[in-house]
Chains A and B, each alone.
Chain A
């Protein structure tokens, strides 16, 4: 509180000051990281103090989150399989969850759709759905765990991503597979290579033995049972093998980037 008091300008109503300041700040609704952070940030801005010079809880938390990425990568066992379940354990109905309503989910024409492949791969040609459907598929019944805490068991069928990476001649020493999606705001998410090569990480074409419905990401989602749900992109339109960290829709807003289970 001492620091806060020293930043106050005599004769200025602090409530009005904060209200004015928050009005010019970007999209608070989504980026309110820390309660109270906005007012402290607004005060330092208006008093002309360099925010980076002062203690910033938000910056500290981001650094610790990066540290946690490293810790999780270190304890990630590439041979540890996510537990599998009998079909009788499948959650019905399986929840739809996204930052948009189901009505706003992308509607994709499977005949027009192509998976674009970019980056550190030998063969950059795009793939039609028909071509992808011809690749060998496996089924897995695993638990989907949402960052919100709830979980649901589902059945996903598709091609192990590591098989596809081999087919396209991807550089498996690259750091990430970065996925981009078809929805309006351009969902995207980076997947670390160790997880991309995990035997259960899958290019999913079916849910519960049926062609992947629109709700669950038609025509293709990436199912990653060793990650939280938001690291399982739906409506995928392109994949880039890269050494650059390109960020992600939720990762950029503060969700831990590794988010391993």
Chain B
């Protein structure tokens, strides 16, 4: 049994009392899920006003109804995303969770676990420990999350935050960075949700903690 576990019910089976996801992780996770979905759906509607590529998003999956409505949603949900994201980063660093859960990430470990995953041999017996593929994806999505916010700020304030905008290679390039970060998050979301459904106890752990 992990030393992290809080065992308030000694009679219960060890596995059912082991806290996989502490309350603060579950709280910020679900707030982030709501904020991300709002940002992505309103972002698609904003994209449609001036598409970067040869396609637009179907109105049935966008939020806001028109550009003005989508911008209202986007610039409202951004506060939820940013404040919640900062809380997550602060607590992740302060509690040592990032260090304990995500490090180290070694190339050998990632290769071995990727091979195991693709051949269906990757174990999910212990949810408290992330395998190397999970470590890489979770660390990567945190980086993309930071990048999507920074590129968004660069597009929003290309005069007041012009050094940030310049860092992205200018206003027009920052739009592409913002778009590809969104694409990476959506790709992650597809895999993340699919795997949570394949391993339901991981979804349970993110809801009730155990």
Residues of A within 8 A of B (CB): 32-35, 37, 60-62, 64-65, 68, 75-77, 80-83, 143, 145-151, 225-226, 250, 253-256, 260-261
CB of B72 within 8 A of CB of A75, answer: no
Query: Within the assembled complex, what's the spacing in Å between the Cα atoms of A80 and B163?
Result: 11
Q: A75-B157, A77-B160, A80-B159 are in contact. Are A61 and B73 (CB under 8 A)?
A: yes
Query: Within the assembled complex, what's the spacing in Å between the Cα atoms of A260 and B72?
Result: 15
The yes or no answer to B135 lying at the interface (CB within 8 A) is no
CB of B175 within 8 A of CB of A149, answer: yes
- Give 25 pairs: A residue, B residue, CB < 8 Å, sorted on A: A33-B65, A33-B68, A33-B69, A34-B64, A35-B62, A35-B63, A35-B65, A61-B72, A61-B73, A64-B76, A75-B160, A76-B160, A77-B160, A80-B162, A82-B162, A83-B158, A83-B166, A146-B50, A147-B67, A149-B47, A149-B49, A149-B50, A151-B171, A254-B72, A260-B160
The yes or no answer to B28 lying at the interface (CB within 8 A) is no
The yes or no answer to B75 lying at the interface (CB within 8 A) is yes
The yes or no answer to B71 lying at the interface (CB within 8 A) is yes
Cβ contacts under 8 Å, A143 to chain B: 158, 171
Cβ contacts under 8 Å, B71 to chain A: 147, 254-256
CB of B75 within 8 A of CB of A256, answer: yes
Cβ contacts under 8 Å, B162 to chain A: 80, 82-83
Q: Say how far A157's CB is from chain B's closest CB, in angstroms.
A: 20
Query: Within the assembled complex, what's the spacing in Å between the Cα atoms of A149 and B172?
Result: 9
CB nearest neighbor in B for A226: B159
Cβ contacts under 8 Å, B67 to chain A: 147-148
Q: How many A-B residue pairs have CB under 8 A?
A: 90
Query: Within the assembled complex, what's the spacing in Å between the Cα atoms of A68 and B79?
Result: 10
Interface of B, helix, strand, loop or mixed by DSSP: helix
Cβ contacts under 8 Å, A82 to chain B: 159, 162
Q: Which of B47, B72, B76, B160 contacts A80, CB < 8 Å?
A: B160
CB nearest neighbor in B for A33: B69
Interface of A, helix, strand, loop or mixed by DSSP: loop
Q: A61-B72, A147-B67, A250-B68 are in contact. Are A225 and B49 (CB under 8 A)?
A: no
Cβ contacts under 8 Å, B166 to chain A: 83
CB of B69 within 8 A of CB of A225, answer: no
8 Å CB contacts to A: which residues of B94-116?
Answer: none
Query: Within the assembled complex, what's the spacing in Å between the Cα atoms of A253 and B68?
Result: 7
Scan B147-165; emit 1 where CB is below 8 A from any A CB, else 0: 0000000010111101000
Query: Within the assembled complex, what's the spacing in Å between the Cα atoms of A261 and B164?
Result: 13
Cβ contacts under 8 Å, A253 to chain B: 68
CB of A150 within 8 A of CB of B50, answer: yes
Q: A61-B76, A75-B160, A77-B160 are in contact. Are A145 and B65 (CB under 8 A)?
A: no
CB of A32 within 8 A of CB of B72, answer: no
Q: A149-B50, A151-B172 are in contact. Are A62 and B158 (CB under 8 A)?
A: no
CB of A254 within 8 A of CB of B50, answer: no
Known: A77-B160, A83-B158, A149-B175. 10 other contacts (CB 8 A): A35-B59, A35-B64, A61-B72, A64-B72, A80-B159, A143-B171, A147-B71, A151-B172, A254-B69, A254-B71
Cβ contacts under 8 Å, A35 to chain B: 59, 62-65, 69
CB of B50 within 8 A of CB of A148, answer: yes
8 Å CB contacts to A: which residues of B34-52?
Answer: 46-47, 49-50
CB of A145 within 8 A of CB of B171, answer: yes
Query: Within the assembled complex, what's the spacing in Å between the Cα atoms of A148 and B67?
Result: 7
CB nearest neighbor in A for B60: A35
CB of A148 within 8 A of CB of B65, answer: no
